[in-house]
Amino acid sequence: QVQLVESGGGFVQAGGSLRLSCVFSGRTFSNYAMGWFRQAPGKEREFVAAIGWSGGSTYYATSVKGRFTISRDNAKNTGYLQMNSLKPEDTAVYYCAADRTVAVSTMSARAYDYWGQGTQVTVSS
């Protein structure tokens, strides 16, 4: 059974940076695309970024493009989300997700089979 565990969330001032990590276990990580989503209080879960199994393809939500970078290290079974120039509106619980067949450009959370428990990111103004 696939398990995903996020870490790296925290409290940061606007303009600051954080790097989230997502450790994958239970299957062969390099067979899965990985995505990051976020959910703010009272809002639906929204797509942030995704990366293909090899790391060669990435896709970003317009709201984070140019500020966030998604990456992966298949040797370490770990995915990352580097978040720079953070804004208060980036405050949310961030989730990593994995799926074997999802296309990188798919923004629907329903397309992903496996999810982590989430990590809180809070950006103060």
Q: What is the pLDDT of residues 15-70, one digit of tens each?
A: 999 999 999 999 999 999 999 999 999 999 999 999 999 999 999 999 999 999 99
Give the per-residue pLDDT at 123. 98
Give the per-residue pLDDT at 31. 96
Amino acid 77 reads N
The span from the CA of 43 to the CA of 78, in Å, is 28
Q: What's the average model confidence in pLDDT over 115-121?
A: 98
Q: What's the average model confidence in pLDDT over 106-125?
A: 97
